[in-house]
Amino acid sequence: MPPTAIVWFRRDLRLADHPALHAAAADGAVVVPVYIDSPAEEAPWPPGAASRWWLHHALTDLAQALQGSGTRLLLRRGPSLQALQQLVAETGATALHWNRLYDPATLARDQAVKSWAKATGLQVRSHNAALLHEPWTLTTGKGGAYRVFTPFWKACLAAPAAPPPLPAPVRLPPPPPHLASLPLAALGLLPRNRWDAGLAQAWTPGEAGAVAALNAFFDTAAADYGVARDLPGAAGTSRLSPHLHFGELSPRQVLQACRNAGESAGSASFTRQLYWREFAHHLLYHFPHTTDTPLDPRFKAFPWAGDPAAGLTAWQRGRTGFPLVDAGMRELWHTGWMHNRVRMLAASFLIKNLLIPWQQGAHWFWDTLVDADLANNTLGWQWTAGCGADAAPYFRIFNPVLQGQRFDPDGAYVRRWLPELARLPDRWLHRPWEAPRTVLETAGVRLGRDYPAPILDLGASRRRALTLWDALKRR
Ligand code: FAD
């Protein structure tokens, strides 16, 4: 009788380059693939509404792919430890495999599972599937963690290369038929009030969708990535972030696709962004408190003076009166994603112009992004707030008008997400409050009615922020 091995799927919802699945199959075991729904174990950052929508569809795709390989996915409900104990009792499994995650809550949970498995004599093996370089494999000359991107990146390039991706298993023997599985609907991942039509239009979750997005990017956009990545109106980036977050694709597969595409400025610039993802995971692992607390302790005492009631709501709804910020926030609400340049701008506006704590923005992104990722989100917010590792200098306060004129000069992006401004000429599109009355009338825009008047004065709010940041830096 072949041994039985449980493969515990988490954020690695794919069959190709799946070291846990590969190892279990290579041992000649009967593989029992299981996904355990246990959002509470990720507290205080359980998956948000958009992530749960994505998860529903990614699990549908994974179940179909496993069925195509001759087996089936079991769905169980957490707590994970109890669900695994139950499954071992039901199957007589002698081995348990999973791919590693690096956020504080799941690390602690996995450690508890590992301790139990070892104590019961179960063979337990965890694998690296999510990163090119795991956080503990790279240290500075002094033996500490990196806090600055460029030396981190150089260390990655000097380190032994990640192994090539593994093939998907061709055929897997099915687990015993008596093993029960919850129906996917029982996990309640889809929203009750169906606000998700825009997400469904924008994305194809799952491994097949991930591979299609990867191929499409290298067929059409990769060569120009270095320039087009900054233009929110162009399809200039890969949009692989949710696929990478849910592990429908591994960074090794992405890197290999990059290499296959041949060297170009575009692919070099794209690869660098993949290392920002690595850097974010390195930071989260070594500084787990930074999800909620500034890495730079001086910022703990920052005198946030904004009015969250008014400012936060206007920002969330895309009604600040600053078109590029509002277009980004509406893209986020509609599709669950926002272009990186606009993420930086929207975050800077919340933190520096509105003086609302970055943690509140991070939570909103967490709930609304389909790619919400604790490592990348924490890095993005702390970087913009100027309080994290390799932070943006505090005097960098993005100006929504100048950013719009520079990166959305023909207004393609703003017009797509703010149709009420579509008929404004380019010259006034990013500052409608300065447009002459006749121009507004001709474009059919009544400020304050069709589109909000600006909720703050850009110059005054910038000066206020600079004074506060200056005082803090001098402490
Ligand atoms: P591409 O430009 O095609 O890049 C390829 C991949 O590299 C991305 O899919 C992503 O995995 C990685 N990457 C690119 N830029 C970054 C970056 N700055 N930091 C870390 N990894 C990067 N990214 C998330 O995946 N999840 C988040 O929750 C998230 N929150 C953010 C919050 C703020 C305030 C900011 C400023 C950035 C945030 N980012 C986040 C980073 C970045 O905006 C997204 O990764 C990127 O926009 C995803 O689009 P793409 O896949 O087309 O990226």
DSSP secondary structure string for all residues of 130-170: S-SS-GGG---TTSS---SHHHHHHHHHHSPPPPPPPPPPS
Residues in CB range of 36: below 8 A, 6 or more apart: 8, 76, 77, 78, 80, 83, 84
Q: How confident is the model at residue 412 (pLDDT cuts 50, 70, 90)?
A: very high
Say how many Å lie between the CA of residue 344 and the centre of ligand 1.
Answer: 10
CA 272/CA 270 separation, integer angstroms:
5
Ligand 1 within 6 A of 343 CB? yes
pLDDT above 90: residue 92 = yes
Q: Average the pLDDT over 84-95 and give the result.
A: 97
Say how many Å lie between the CA of residue 412 and the centre of ligand 1.
Answer: 21
The CA distances from residue 69 to 33, 170, 171, 207, in Å, are: 12, 6, 5, 14
Q: How confident is the model at residue 471 (pLDDT cuts 50, 70, 90)?
A: confident
Q: Please state, for a pLDDT cut of 90, what percent of the chain lies above it.
A: 88
H or E, element range at 124: strand 123-127
Cis bond leading into 44, ω under 30°?
A: yes
pLDDT above 80: residue 406 = yes
Q: Computed from CA positions of residues 367, 42, 132, 361, in that sequence, does the dihedral angle turn out positive or negative?
A: positive
The pLDDT mean for the chain works out to 95
Ligand 1 nearest atom to the CA of residue 346, by list position: 34
Say how many Å lie between the CA of residue 376 and the centre of ligand 1.
Answer: 6
pLDDT above 90: residue 74 = yes
pLDDT above 80: residue 119 = yes
Q: Is 204 exposed, middle or buried (0-12, 13-18, 19+ CB in 10 A)?
A: middle
Which tens digits make up the pLDDT trace of 308-340? 777 999 999 999 999 999 999 999 999 999 999
Residue 382's closest CA among 301, 291, 289, 307?
291
Please tell me the predicted confidence (pLDDT) of residue 392. Answer: 77
Residue 48's closest CA among 285, 245, 258, 202?
245
The answer to which of 32-46, 212-226, 418-432, 437-451 has the lowest mean pLDDT is 212-226
Which tens digits make up the pLDDT trace of 6-22? 999 999 999 999 999 99
Closest C-alpha to ligand 1, atom 3? 238
Q: Average the pLDDT over 148-165 and give the result.
A: 95
H or E, element range at 75: strand 74-77
Closest C-alpha to ligand 1, atom 33? 380
Q: Tell me which residue has tokens 């205080």.
A: 44
Please tell me the predicted confidence (pLDDT) of residue 261. Answer: 86
Asked whether the beta carbons of 68 and 56 are under 8 A apart, the reply is no
pTM: 0.97
Task: Give, for ligand 1, the residue of 45, 103, 149, 273 to mutate: max count of ligand atoms closer than 8 Å to Cβ.
Answer: 273
Ligand 1 within 6 A of 237 CB? yes
Which tens digits make up the pLDDT trace of 96-116? 999 999 999 999 999 999 999
Say how many Å lie between the CA of residue 39 and the centre of ligand 1.
Answer: 23
Say how many Å lie between the CA of residue 440 and the centre of ligand 1.
Answer: 36
Asked whether the beta carbons of 383 and 376 are under 8 A apart, the reply is no
Which tens digits make up the pLDDT trace of 420-444? 999 999 999 999 999 999 999 999 9
Task: Give, for ligand 1, the residue of 153, 230, 376, 407 to mutate: max count of ligand atoms closer than 8 Å to Cβ.
Answer: 376
Please tell me the predicted confidence (pLDDT) of residue 305. Answer: 79
Ligand 1 nearest atom to the CA of residue 339, by list position: 47
Please tell me the predicted confidence (pLDDT) of residue 310. Answer: 78
Which tens digits make up the pLDDT trace of 236-294? 999 999 999 999 999 999 999 999 988 888 888 999 999 999 999 999 999 999 999 99
Ligand 1 nearest atom to the CA of residue 238, by list position: 3
The pair of three-digit structure tokens given for residue 24, joined into one six-digit string: 């279990």
Closest C-alpha to ligand 1, atom 43? 340
